[in-house]
Amino acid sequence: MWNYEKRLQFPVNIKEPNAKLAQIIISQYDGPDGEMGASMRYLSQRYAMPCREIGGLLTDIGTEELAHLEMVATIIHQLTRNLSMEEIERSGFDKYYVDHTLGIWPQAAGGVPFNACEFQSKGDVITDLSEDMAAEQKARTTYDNILRLIKEPDVCEPIKFLREREIVHYQRFGEALRMATDKLNEKNFYAFNPGFDKCENSNGSF
C-alpha cells in the first residue's frame, strides 16, 4: 500500500531549459545505477528477508527512492520544457525527441532502455544487502560525475541532495547487514542462506 503527497521531497525549480544537461541526468532516472532500479531492487528484495526489521528498512528506503525518481524526472522535465526546435537539434536531443517528444522515458544517458537486469533480487540476505551497499556507492559516484559536468546552481542543489541520500542509505544498509550477521554463527556467516536453508548455523534468531 502506498499514499501520495503532492509535493517533491526536495524543491526543484529550474528556470532555463538545457537539453544537454537533461541527456546526462536522465541516467539517474534509469541508467544502470538510477533511481528506478534502486527502488525496484529494494522493493523486490524485501519479500525474501528472513527478519522483519530488514524487510521494513528495504520498504522505507525503496519508498524514498520513488520520491527520488520523481525528483530526477522533474529535473529532466524542467530542463526540457519549452525547448525550441533549434535547441533540440543543436543540443543532440533530437535522437530522444524523435521517439518521445518531451515525454519522460526511462533510459541511460547512452540511450540504453531500463532493464531489470540492472539489479538483482537473489533471495539471500547477505547477497542482497551487499548488492544494496554497492548500488548506493555506484549511484553516489554517478552523482559525483554529474556534479563535475554541471555548474548551474538550480540543477546542482537537488543533485547534491540526492548524492547525500546515497551515503545515508549506504550507512543504513551497512547496519542492516550487521543486524543479519549478528543472528548468524560468527565462525561462518556464509555457510548457508538463512532465507532458504534451515540448518544449525544460525544462532537461533533466524
Footprint on this chain of another protein (rule: CB under 8 A) = 3-14, 53, 56-57, 60-61, 64, 70, 73-74, 77-78, 168-169, 172, 175-176, 179
Nearer to another protein, 6 or 151 (CB): 6
- List the beta bridge partners of residue 184: 202
* Least distance from another protein to the Cβ atom of residue 75, Å: 9
Q: Least distance from C-beta 139 to another protein, angstroms? A: 16
Shortest Cβ 205–another protein spacing (Å): 15
Least separation in angstroms between residue 64's CB and another protein is: 6
In sequence order, the β-bridge partners of residue 113 are 107
Judged by CB, which is closer to another protein: 135, or 192?
Answer: 135
Give the separation between CA 80 and CA 165, rounded to whole angstroms. Answer: 25
Buried b (16+ CB within 10 A) or exposed e, 111-130: eeebeeebbbbeebbbbbbe
CB 77, min distance to another protein, A: 5
Paired with 107 in beta bridges are 113
**Beta carbon nearer to another protein, 21 or 32:** 21
| Type of residue at 190 | Y
68 three-class SS? helix
| Spatial CB neighbours of 152, under 8 Å, sequence gap ≥ 6 | 14, 16, 18, 21
Minimum CB distance to another protein smaller for 12 or for 24: 12
Nearer to another protein among residue 179 and residue 191 (C-beta): 179
Shortest distance, CB of residue 5 to another protein, whole angstroms?
5
Complex with another protein: residue 4 or 186, whichever CB lies closer: 4
Cell of 155: 540543477
Rounded Cα distance between 202 and 192, Å, is 9
> Could you tell me if 170 and 164 are in contact, meaning their C-beta atoms sit under 8 angstroms apart?
no
